[in-house]
Amino acid sequence: MDTLQELHSSTTSNNSIKIPTNSTLSMLSSSSSSGTTTTTTTTSSSRYENQKRRDWNTFGQYLKNHRPPLSLSRCSGAHVLEFLRYLDQFGKTKVHTTLCPFYGHPNPPGPCPCPLRQAWGSLDALIGRLRAAYEENGGQQETNPFGARAVRLYLREVRDLQSKARGVSYEKKKRKRPQQQLHQQHLFVALTQGETSMQP
């Protein structure tokens, strides 16, 4: 789910933004499945770059419509948090409150009045794209507002809250340590050599 492309146009007065819709994304995703791996990689890369450009332009528009208007050089982590909270009004993910009988249920059996929010995964991906775009557009890594501690803490808080409210685990799968992988490779080699020596 792409955070910004799902937003529809709104008027450009009173702190609201006119956000472009994405008609080209459907064309990109419906590319021929008979293409080679190289074509798929190029399409994915260009899809990511297009989305990053749209996100960057939308954030720029948000800063322009901010009251008072805000330049990128004066933008801080607090402004990024303000932007993320603004995006919540366009969210499509049901986040149950602690008073809701469906709190913690991954598949609630019925409707409830709980608010719709941006999904944590969408916000996390958005911040990743904006962080990269900031540096590609001349920003310094040390002053990148998208990498601010407050933004990281906010994303962690959203992840934990949504995980509990929706009954969904966002834990990363544990990667096998290199030692374990090496041990498994040795075990595999030993087993395969044992099989070949047993054959007549």
Tens digits of residue pLDDT in 138-161 = 889 999 999 999 999 999 999 999
First to last CA, the chain: 57
The Cβ-side half-sphere exposure at 106, using a 13 Å CA radius, reads 5
Give the model confidence (pLDDT) of 48-105 as tens digits.
Answer: 999 999 999 999 999 999 988 888 889 999 999 999 999 999 999 999 999 999 998 8
**Cα 197 from Cα 194, distance rounded (Å):** 5
For residue 52, give the nearest of 125, 151, 142, 150 by alpha carbon. 125
Which backbone phi and psi does 144 adopt, to 5 degrees?
-65, 115
Map residue 118 onto helix, strand or coil.
Answer: coil
**Cα 41 from Cα 32, distance rounded (Å):** 13
User: What's the mean pLDDT when you consider all of the chain?
Assistant: 76
And the tokens for 106?
């991954």
